[in-house]
Amino acid sequence: MSLKLPAVGLRHDWTLAEVQALLDQPFNDLLFAAQQIHRTHFDPNRVQVSQLLSIKTGACPEDCAYCGQSAQHQSTIEREQLLALDAVIKAAQEAQAAGATRFCMGAAWRNPTDHQLDQVIAMIAAVHGLGMETCVTLGMLTLDQAQRLKAAGLDYYNHNLDTSPEFYAQVITSRTYHERLETLEHIRAVGLKTCSGGILGLGESRTDRAALLHQLATLPAHPESVPINLLVQVEGTPLHGAAPLDPLEFVRTVAAARVLMPASYVRLSAGRSTMSDELQALCYLAGANSIFYGERLLTTDNATTDRDQALFERLGLGFEIVAPEGRDTPGGCFK
């Protein structure tokens, strides 16, 4: 199928057949198209840096087959209560000093209670006061809860679709795909920025990866941030021991996300600790322009800060400082 790609502008009317054809392009053609589109919308040598902190770990009632925080799996991840406010502020200050511009907080809940939301809102206010962008991932939200988070000054809400609608039930049964889309609808309705992507290497097919990207690219508004995760296999979870994904399939998916959602930040998320420098470099060439920085990503290992700095130096990449609206923050680079 011949696929005509737009040089500029956003589309929300992609067909699944078009997305599949995009992923099926010869590798060099796909990367060339992604790099051209990336340069239209972004500085190709700047990468936005976020840091992620688990503010409440384990004992989640969901049954996500990839997640060591599920109470239904036999992983070795220890359960922890919600962190104290002082501990969160200290972690945010350390992240900011290391160059992170966005601080993301994740809690292992299916959906927060109003009391739990009160506690998280205090954390959002404190981190926002440091001059950082804020993002949280707390599970499903009601419309009222989304409005409260917006009023508290939250910038982004993360809620991943994980995989295709067709493959979803093989990974998660405790929450429906529709419920995920409904939470994204609540986030958009109140004017919060959306962080939503998926996980690769769950055993899905390329058709499933196409369907995931189709879902994201045909939302009423593209997510401002699109995390592309590579499965980190956690002992004790059903997906431990799954066949690894072909690394070039990962790059293809990053490139396709860049083409389909030209103005979105495409973030290399979980799995970077196992990626070679060469694979990460290909991902940046394919249009990835955001990473999670720091040596822990919720409960799993991340690429070390020294390794990231060395790779950025070798590639001539600088980190992009993105200040919350109305505030100016200077840029910098890993030197």
- Residue 137 pLDDT more than 50? yes
Phi first, then psi, for residue 320 (nearest 5°) are -95, 125
Q: What is the pLDDT of residues 160-185, one digit of tens each?
A: 999 999 999 998 888 889 999 999 99
Can you give the pLDDT at residue 288? 96
- Contacts of 28-34 spanning 24+ positions with Cβ under 8 A: 30/252, 30/255, 30/256, 30/259, 30/286, 31/251, 31/255, 31/282, 31/285, 31/286, 33/5, 33/255, 33/259, 34/254, 34/255, 34/256, 34/258, 34/259, 34/286, 34/287
Ranking 58-67, 91-100, 326-335 by mean pLDDT, the lowest is 326-335
Q: Where are the alpha helices (DSSP H) in 24-84?
A: 27-41
pLDDT of residue 75: 52
pLDDT of 95-128, one tens digit each? 888 777 788 888 878 778 888 899 899 999 999 8
Q: Which domains does the chain have, with CATH numbers?
A: 16-320 (3.20.20.70)
Residue for token pair 């956003």: 10
pTM of the model: 0.85
Residue 230's pLDDT is: 93
Report the pLDDT averaged over residues 231-240.
Answer: 80
pLDDT (average), residues 315-321: 77
Amino acid at 191: G
**Predicted pLDDT at 108:** 76
Query: What 3-state class would DSSP assign to 156?
Result: strand
Residue pair 167/215 in contact (Cβ under 8 Å)? The answer is no
Bridge pairing between strands 156-158 and 193-195: parallel
How far apart are alpha carbons 4 and 8 in whole angstroms? Answer: 12
pLDDT, residue 40, reads 94
Q: Give residue 327's pLDDT.
A: 35
Strand-pair partners of 57: 80
Catalytic residues: 60, 64, 67, 104, 135, 195, 267
Mean per-residue pLDDT of the chain? 84
Q: What angle do CA 200, 201, 203 make, to 5 degrees?
A: 120
